[in-house]
Amino acid sequence: MKIALVAHDRKKDTIIKLATAYQPILEQHELFATGTTGLKITEATGLNIHRFKSGPLGGDQQIGAMVSENKMDMIIFLRDPLASQPHEPDVNALIRLSDVYEIPLATNIGAAEVLIRGLANGFLDFRQVVKEDPQKPMSAY
């Protein structure tokens, strides 16, 4: 599965802890991240991560482009709910597109843990079926 990891600055420590705790699961998948998030996770864990641009420089949109092609299977996006972001429209666009394509997306650590455990237990296997027709959102089936 293709998994995106993104965290705003005050959530970086949290996503590093998450990636460290679930490294044995995550390393079995293809990982993507926005620039700084990916760098910090790789430094802390050694996980192999494809890094896009930093979020404010377009990284969220790059992940969104993969979603729009139905090429992303799960997104962990630890948003900071207490700080405004200069690229708020990009953040909202990524979340909206994930809803369009029905991509499982967690915006906090509690939901992220459930998703990762679900991933390990095959709950995301439906994504293989969806990807057979990359133009079709899940709801079209």
By the criterion CB under 6 A, which residues form the site for ligand 13P? 6, 8, 34-37, 54-56, 59-60, 87, 91
Catalytic machinery residues: 60
If the CB atoms of residues 79 and 131 are measured against ligand 13P, the closer one turns out to be: 79
Ligand-binding annotation for 34, yes or no, is: yes
Ligand-binding annotation for 58, yes or no, is: no
Q: Considering the complex, what minimum distance in angstroms separates the CB of residue 120 from ligand 13P?
A: 24
Nearest to 81 by CA among 100, 61, 104, 109: 109
Tokens of 38: 């990916």
CA distances from 127 to 20, 37, 60, 94 (A): 25, 25, 21, 18
Nearest to 112 by CA among 43, 19, 10, 13: 19
* Beta bridge pairs of residue 75: 4, 105
Q: Considering the complex, what minimum distance in angstroms separates the CB of residue 114 from ligand 13P?
A: 21
Widest Cα–Cα separation across the chain: 41
Ligand-binding annotation for 50, yes or no, is: no
Q: Considering the complex, what minimum distance in angstroms separates the CB of residue 139 from ligand 13P?
A: 26
Residues placed in the known binding site for substrate: 8, 12, 34-37, 54-55, 87
Residues placed in the known binding site: 8, 12, 34-37, 54-55, 87
